[in-house]
Amino acid sequence: MTGELSPIDKAKFVAAKRAVDYVEDGMRVGLGTGSTAAWMVRCLGEMVRDEGLRIKGVPTSTRTAQLAREVGIEVISLDEAKWLDVTIDGADEFDGDLNLIKGGGGALLQEKIVATASDQMIVIADVGKEVETLGNFPLPVEVIPFGWQTTRALLEEMLISMDVLGREVTLRMNGGTPFITDEGNHILDLHLNRIGNARQLSMVLNQIPGVVENGLFIDICDAVVLGFGDGRVEVRDINEGTVEQDRIDFVESDNLFADLDD
């Protein structure tokens, strides 16, 4: 089955497979959203089923909640968990300080709340997500629907004084209608090309009325598990200052690799 996976999917899978080593029996685990995070949820489900791992999972989106339940992970709310041992999630971009752009899947709000309420956030990514400077991936900003065009105008005005290369702001669509997040909001994508000062931009964005949260994750991620298409993984820990190399052997498992449509 793995022979049918593209190199990028293999990279995502091996990153996820290595990252679940952070999860121990009895932990409360934040479950990220996206195609890489879906591999991680599948891997955890396999450990629950085959190894008797007991965990409680806090999903960051309705689709992750659905997948987690399907694979047998006990799902609880963040308020039930109160605090999490670890969150494992994907990212759209990460830089050398392990600052991130997230929200490509539109789940940045719950993802940021859950990651911030965790002892550790582990990011799983393929090599294509690594950048020198954040900003090539359009920065998602979640805004409330009320007056979103006014919010967009305020954003565009604010960007004039920011250290960015592009200033186009687009409303994310889902077919012919605006994309709606799990919280009932819209997403504005900021096409900035290069973000000179991500920390400053994140703070300024969240000052604008109508903005709920932005997709910059600054000082939240503790380690990145980077996957490669040939099975290699690299674990970069920003707190320990360590870089570890590892290799994941593919083991065919129809349950794990079947029907993954995220």
108 touches ligand 5RP (CB under 6 A): yes
Closer CB to ligand 5RP, residue 81 or residue 123? Answer: 123
Q: Residues, the chain, total?
A: 262
Nearer CB in complex with ligand 5RP: 85/92: 92
- Binding test (CB under 6 A) with ligand 5RP, winner from 9, 85, 111, 189: 111
Please select the residue that binds ligand 5RP; options are 103, 135, 138, 210, rule is CB under 6 A.
Answer: 103
Residue among 255, 231, 262, 238 at smallest CA distance from 10: 231
Nearer to ligand 5RP among residue 127 and residue 154 (C-beta): 127
Which residues are within 8 A (CB) of 158 and not within 5 positions of it... i.e. 6 or more apart? 204, 205, 208
By CB under 6 A, tell whether 227 contacts ligand 5RP. no
Q: Which among 29-37, 72-80, 190-198, 234-242 is the span making contact with ligand 5RP, rule CB under 6 A?
A: 29-37
List binders of ligand 5RP among 42-101 (CB under 6 A): 89-92
By CB under 6 A, tell whether 33 contacts ligand 5RP: yes
User: Is 111 assigned a catalytic role?
Assistant: yes
Q: Are 198 and 144 in contact (CB under 8 A)?
A: no
Q: Which of 111, 156, 183, 240 is catalytic?
A: 111
Sites of contact with ligand 5RP (CB under 6 A):
32-37, 89-92, 102-108, 111
Which residues form the catalytic set?
111
